[in-house]
Amino acid sequence: MVKQNQTSAKKTEKPPASILAIDVGGRGLKMLVTGQTEPRRYRSNPGMTPQQMVEIVRKLTPDWSFGAVSIGFPGPVGDHGPRSEPGNLGSGWVGFNFAGAFDCPVRIINDAAMQALGSYDGGRMLFLGFGTGLGSALIAEKVIVPLELGELPEPGGRTLGDILCRRGLKRLGKKRWRRAVAWAVPALMAAMLADYVVLGGGNAKEIKDPPSGSRLSNNLTAFRGGFRLWHLEDIPTLRNGDNRPPATHPTEWRLI
């Protein structure tokens, strides 16, 4: 008799029936729950703390019920949530008890990675998010790799993020900013060996003609990524009263 593999014998945890996906941006919040089609928005201030974020979400969604929360966070994320304080928000995000605040399980991922997950159509995809900063993530054969391509230095002492972010758009003007995008996208596509590039973020709407090999994404794909997040088995789930993420098992999807 062949002994069944222990990992394969384990039952996959069923995804929650209703998920609230929250996209935390440098200038505002967007949220959508399973079954709804129109997201709710709030224009926040740069000093927003995680407790204020939770209070705003609660205030805007009294008629929405959900059993789990996905959060797209504008910064590096580890097994226990945010790994560093965001430069364009208030403090207190590292170590905050998100599961306790929402009173349900929570999964957190970098905001660019969440939108990338929602935009993925297979193959090797590079995602670039043009917003307050330059968000970036690579998905290669179901492996999600959050990136910080905005940290790449440019001649003159600036970084790629300084040029392609919202401040760069205002400083350069639309015409010069579009030329920078037209140069950067093919270069990053080649460097990452990507099959295609998806361009998202609030300022992607300023791109009239996407460079060859790229396409524009709808920002609603961030919510699709938040919903998809609960179908990945190796994403740490934060639960109230448990400071340690549960042990995970190898699957075909991986977040590194």
pLDDT tens digits, one per residue of 170-204: 999 999 999 999 999 999 999 999 999 999 998 99
CATH number of the domain where residue 195 is located: 3.30.420.40
- Give the pLDDT confidence score for residue 235 in this predicted structure: 85
Q: Are residues 188 and 136 in the same domain?
A: yes
* Whether residues 59 and 180 fall in one domain: no
Beta bridge partners of 41: 30
- Residue 82 forms part of a structural domain: yes
Rounded Cα–Cα distance for residues 222 and 227 (Å)? 9
Res 132: pLDDT:
86
Looking at the DSSP bridge assignments, the partners of residue 33 are: 20
How far, in Å, CA of 197 to CA of 217, rounded? 10
Q: Are residues 135 and 202 in the same domain?
A: yes
Examine residue 18 and state whether it is found in any structural domain, yes or no.
yes
167 and 231 part of one domain: no
pLDDT for res 186 = 97
Q: Is residue 246 part of a domain?
A: yes
Percentage with pLDDT > 70 across the chain: 89
Flag whether 2 is in a domain.
no
Residue 68 lies in a domain: yes
CA pair distance 112, 190, nearest whole angstrom: 20
- Is 1 within the bounds of a domain? no
Q: Are residues 140 and 205 in the same domain?
A: yes
Residue 3 lies inside a defined structural domain of this protein = no
pLDDT at 15: 83
Same domain flag for 97 and 192: no
Only one residue has tokens 């015409």, namely 175
Do 225 and 128 fall within a single domain? no
| Same domain (yes/no): 158, 108 | no
pLDDT, tens digit only, all 256 positions of the chain: 333 333 333 445 688 999 999 999 877 899 999 999 999 999 977 889 999 999 999 999 999 999 999 999 999 999 899 999 988 899 999 999 999 999 999 999 999 999 999 999 999 999 999 988 899 999 998 899 999 999 999 878 899 999 999 999 999 999 999 999 999 999 999 999 999 999 999 899 999 999 999 999 987 899 999 999 999 887 889 998 765 545 555 556 666 5
Same domain for 228 and 108, yes or no, is yes
Tell me if residue 8 falls in helix, strand or coil: helix
Q: Is 230 inside a domain boundary?
A: yes
Same domain, 231 and 208: no
* Residue 6 pLDDT: 34
Do 103 and 198 lie in a common domain?
A: no
Q: What is the pLDDT of residue 254?
A: 67
Count structural domains, the chain.
2
Same domain, 13 and 109: yes
Read off the pTM: 0.86
- Domain assignment of residue 239, given as a range: 8-113+221-255
Secondary structure class of 75 (helix, strand, coil) = coil
